[in-house]
Amino acid sequence: MADFFASFNIAFLIASAAKIIFLTFLVILPMVAYSVYAERRFSAIIQDRVGPNRVGIPLTLFGFKKDIQILGIGGLLQPMADGLKFILKEDFTPGHVNKFYYWLAPCLTMVPALLTCAVMPFGSELDLSWFGIAQPIKSVIADLNVGPLYMFAISSLGVYGIVLAGWSSNSKYPFLGGVRSSSQMISYEISLGLSIIPVLMIFGELNLSKMSAYQDANGWLLLPFWGEGLSLSRWVLLIPLGISFVVFTISMFAETNRTPFDLAECETELVAGYHTEYSSMKFALFFLGEYAAMIIGSGLAVTLFFGGWSIPFGPLLSQLTGLQFHFVPGHTPLYTGLLHIATFFAKVFGCILFFIWVRWTLPRFRFDQLMALGWKVFFELALVNVILTAVILIWCPLK
């Protein structure tokens, strides 16, 4: 027994727990809440409205004249108010549902979305030698050598939440939503997986943190402006990478059930789709799961195509300023490690704004158009792209 306990690396366990708590509870969940707020404000300004701008620290409840607005931006506490509303609402379970699956479905939407962030490299390394920790701590919860595969495997479990919700609700609209969602997500999973094969061929690697480190040293895949990125072959490879990025992004939209592919919950036809029968916190879990999936998807897109946590022109900036902005294994100062984390989340936030922008621009696809696009265009395009990349890699190989 003592041997068993001694076999644990306590420092490693504590570091992992700290990283899990930091990433999921201090970053992803608040980010989910605030991307809902961002969605509401962004959609408002797109439609010439103002959006939620009232919720602040509610001093009027205690007899003061005005609420305090944080940073002068109205409504920054709106997510808290929404959350409070969800918690206080009646959690109603209709009599005609299959109770077990009805309760299981919301968890199955939220949990895979949060599980996938385990392999997400959200920063380079944190050098904590000031605090007496000799080894730099990697800013990733689990540095798996099969990062993207793990992500696809877990995130495709998310469809079960939707299917089970539609099935167990025992009502027509959720059922239709669930059926649509399952066929949609299964067909787009193929093009999603195939679209990143060229990327993996170029990296020759399935470890997400090593991919980020490579891009930090040699230019982002889509912006090869420094290091080896200035070679001919990287610029020729921009053609398959561009195709791969477009296919990946659009499949990601379909995979996360965002407009223009939100056929599983399209309000105009299916009331609310698969979560029609849900209320209160169970509905909120679906809602938050969708946004969490969006954040993880953006994180993957950023890691694969936009250099992950790397600061743009990092090595060049280091030469110019004398400070270190690029990643050197084992010798990255603390400020650079923190800057890398900030850069990663800034990029993810940019991606989310793009998601929102697209949502409020495009109308919804018809279901047959959606399936035709997935099977007749993207599947073939992604396959051809793999061959194209292989040919280019043979003719002008990377060093």
Partner 1 sequence: MATITVQRPKLAWHEKWFISPFIKGMKLTLGHAIKNLFLLIGRKEKTTMEYPEQKWDLNLPDYYRGAPALVTDEHDRERCVSCQLCEFICPPKAIKIIPSEIPSDDPWAKVEKRPKVFEIDMIRCIYCGMCEEVCPEQAIYLRKDYAITGTSRAEMLHDKKRLYEIGGKRVGLVNKWNELK
Which parts of this chain interact with partner 1 (CB under 8 A)?
Answer: 42, 44-50, 53, 357-358, 360-362
Residue 345, phi then psi, degrees to nearest 5: -75, -25
129/361 with CB nearer partner 1: 361
Name the minimum Å distance from CB 38 to partner 1: 12
Name the minimum Å distance from CB 62 to partner 1: 20
Name the minimum Å distance from CB 357 to partner 1: 7
25/64 with CB nearer partner 1: 64
145/361 with CB nearer partner 1: 361
Q: Which amino acid is at 274?
A: Y
Q: Which positions ≥6 away from 125 have C-beta within 8 Å?
A: 136, 137, 138, 139, 327, 329, 330, 332, 337
Reading the block at residue 70, the tokens are 């944080």
Name the minimum Å distance from CB 53 to partner 1: 8
210/359 with CB nearer partner 1: 359
Name the minimum Å distance from CB 20 to partner 1: 36
Name the minimum Å distance from CB 360 to partner 1: 6
49/96 with CB nearer partner 1: 49
Q: For residue 232, how many other CB atoms are within 10 A of its CB? A: 8
DSSP state of 274: G
Q: Across the strands, what pairs with 225?
A: none
Question: What's the per-residue H, E or C state across 42-60?
Answer: HHHHHCCCCCCCCCCECHH
Reading the block at residue 162, the tokens are 């939707």
Inter-residue contact 294 to 35 (CB < 8 Å):
yes
226/378 with CB nearer partner 1: 378
**Kind and range of the H or E run holding 126:** strand 125-126
Asked whether the bond before 79 is cis by omega within 30 degrees of 0, the reply is no
Residue 68, phi then psi, degrees to nearest 5: -90, 125
